[in-house]
Amino acid sequence: MEVRDRILIVEDDKSIRNFLKAILEANEYDVILAATGTEAYSLITSRCPDLVILDLGLPDMDGMTILQKVREWTGMPVVVVSARSHERDKVEALDQGADDYITKPFGTSELLARVRTAIRHSRTAGPAEGGRSGIFRAGGLTVDYDKHRAYVDGKDANLTQNEFKLVALLAKYAGKVMTYDFLIREIWGPNMENNNRILRVNMANIRRKVEENPAQPRYIFTEIGVGYRMVEPD
């Protein structure tokens, strides 16, 4: 089973939201939805999507606020889709860290091309794997750095982008304890230091996907109060 990229659509207009959802699901993406900025930020921190499609005109806050908050701790790709067509709006969004800006109305092919490009660029630019290539194997766990995939007993673990980055980083230092602060800083940047919530959420998701019994892990161990350690390779 091939892993699907997960995309969060942040759009308060239900008809547009459902239209975007139908397009993306028809092109093999997993889709989650948010109608408000508050809901969107909660999903971003808990579900760690591979890409966010962000409308700026949200009912509870301006989408630019969401963009600013996201850029404080992650390089997660964000494509703005907005009816605001003024050049200053585009420039501001791009300056705040948007990966792309699409003005409504837009063509389906254009949207899909921008999404593919943003995801591709985020993966080729990501430093979390330390530029490593090749294969890591430990028991039934295989980490393929080149394909950005992890497999358990030959089956794709369906890790998200950030989940894979965590596994790849732990595999790079297999046998050594990686502190919470180190992992957070490497994956999400220095502004997230000492905020373990998002790390715990990601690690719980990883264990559900790679461990036969998450309560008795074979691959990724918790060093209580310190961090995590990957089992040494075969």
Same domain for 59 and 100? yes
Rounded Cα distance, 142 and 95, in Å? 39
Same domain for 214 and 165? yes
Residue-level pLDDT at 152:
95
Residue-level pLDDT at 145:
86
* Residue where one domain finishes, among candidates 80, 102, 125: 125
Residue-level pLDDT at 4:
82
Same domain for 176 and 68? no
Residue-level pLDDT at 194:
62
Residue-level pLDDT at 133:
61
Residue-level pLDDT at 85:
84
166 Cβ neighbours under 8 A, 6+ residues apart? 128, 183, 187, 199, 202, 203, 206
Residue burial 17-56, b: 16+ Cβ < 10 Å; e: rest:
beebbebbeeeebbbbbbbebeebbebbbebbbbbbbbbb
What is the chain's Cα-based Rg? 18
Same domain for 91 and 200? no
Q: Is residue 145 part of a domain?
A: yes
Amino acid found at 180: Y
Same domain for 111 and 25? yes
**Mean pLDDT per 10-residue interval, the chain, length 234 residues:** 82 95 95 96 86 95 92 86 87 88 90 89 54 80 90 92 90 87 80 74 93 93 88 87
Residue-level pLDDT at 130:
43
**Burial class for 169, CB neighbours closer than 10 Å (0-12, 13-18, 19+):** buried
**Residue at token pair 């918790």:** 222
Rounded Cα distance, 156 and 210, in Å? 9
Q: What is the pTM of this model?
A: 0.62
Closest CA to 22 of 7, 1, 3, 37: 7
Q: Is residue 191 part of a domain?
A: yes
Same domain for 10 and 114? yes
Closest CA to 97 of 69, 59, 60: 69
* Residue where one domain finishes, among candidates 125, 157, 181: 125
Q: Is residue 104 part of a domain?
A: yes
Q: What is the CATH number of the domain that holds 160?
A: 1.10.10.10
Same domain for 162 and 192? yes
Establish how many alpha carbons lie within 13 A of residue 158's alpha carbon, considering only the half-sphere containing its beta carbon.
10
Q: Name the domain count of the chain.
A: 2
Domain of residue 51, residue span? 6-125
Q: What is the CATH number of the domain that holds 98?
A: 3.40.50.2300
35 Cβ neighbours under 8 A, 6+ residues apart? 10, 11, 12, 14, 17, 58, 59
Rounded Cα distance, 28 and 45, in Å? 23
Same domain for 98 and 162? no
Alpha helices in the chain (DSSP H): 14-26, 37-47, 63-71, 87-95, 108-125, 161-172, 180-188, 197-210
